[in-house]
Amino acid sequence: MIRAKFTCQQNILNHETQTAEVILTPVTTNPPNQENLLFWQATPAGNITLQITNPAASAQFSVGTEYYVDFTAA
C-alpha cells in the first residue's frame, strides 16, 4: 500500500447533470508541519480529479480539508 495526503481544492456540483467535480492536490508545506513536509517531499505535485454522481459521496469532500489517499494494488 502507498499512502499520500491530498487537500480538496474544489467541489463543484453541476446542477444540470447532478455530477460533482472534485479536485484534490498533494499537501503543501503551508501551513508548515512535520507530517505535511514528509508527504510534500515525496509528492510535491499532481492532482486527482473525480467526477462523482452520488450526492452523498461528493458531500464527503470539503474544500480545504486534507485527506489521506491509500493506493492498494487490485
pLDDT tens for 6-53 read: 999 999 999 999 999 999 999 998 878 999 999 999 999 999 999 999
Residue written as grid cell 452523498: 56
Q: What is the dihedral of CA 73, 35, 28, 70, to 10 degrees?
A: 10
Alpha carbon distance 53, 42 (integer Å): 31
Q: According to the model, what pLDDT value does residue 67 have?
A: 97
pLDDT at 30: 82
The span from the CA of 10 to the CA of 21, in Å, is 7
Residue 20, exposed/middle/buried by CB under 10 A (0-12, 13-18, 19+)?
buried
Residue 59 in this model has a pLDDT that exceeds 90: yes
Specify the pLDDT at position 31.
Answer: 76
Q: Report the chain's mean pLDDT, rounded to a whole number.
A: 95
pLDDT of residue 34: 94
